[in-house]
A = this chain, B = another copy of it.
Amino acid sequence: MRERAKGTVGELGEFGLIRELTSRLTSTTAVRIGPGDDAAVVAAPDRRVVATTDVLLEGRHFRRDWSTAYDVGRKAAAQNMADIAAMGAYPTALLLGLVVPVDLPANWPTEMMDGIRDEAQVASAAVVGGDVVRGDSVVLSITALGDLRNTDPVTRSGAGAGDVVAVTGWLGWSAAGHAVLTRGFRSPRAFVEAHRRPEPPYHAGPAAAGLGATAMIDVSDGLVADLGHIAEASKVRIDIRSADLDIPAQMSDIGQAVGVDPLQWVLTGGEDHAIVATFPREQKLPARWRVIGEVLAPSALPHVTVDGAPWTRTGGWDHFSDDIDG
Contacts and interface: CB of A to CB of B under 8 A. Distances in A.
Interface of A: 9-10, 13-15, 17, 32-33, 36-57, 60-61, 83-84, 86-87, 89, 93, 95-99, 102, 128-137, 139, 141, 143-146, 148, 153, 155-157, 216-218, 233, 318-320
Contacts of A318: 13-15
B38 A218 contact: yes
A231 to B, nearest CB: 14
Contact of A51 (B95, B99, B135, B153): B95
Nearest to A80: B39
A47 B55 contact: no
Contact of A141 (B15, B42, B89, B141): B141
| A-B CB proximity, top 8 nearest | A141-B141, A97-B141, A39-B52, A44-B44, A143-B143, A55-B97, A53-B95, A38-B86
Given A9-B320, A39-B84, A97-B141, 8 more contacts: A32-B153, A39-B89, A41-B51, A41-B153, A42-B49, A42-B51, A49-B145, A97-B97
Given A47-B47, A57-B99, A155 B52 contact: no
A145 B32 contact: no
Nearest to A40: B51
Given A133-B60, A135-B60, A141 B53 contact: yes
Given A41-B148, A136-B137, A318-B13, A128 B51 contact: yes
10 contacts: A9-B320, A15-B318, A38-B52, A38-B156, A39-B52, A44-B44, A55-B133, A99-B139, A132-B319, A133-B319
A137 B133 CA distance: 14
B53 A135 contact: no
Contacts of A49: 41-42, 44, 49, 145
B320 A102 contact: yes
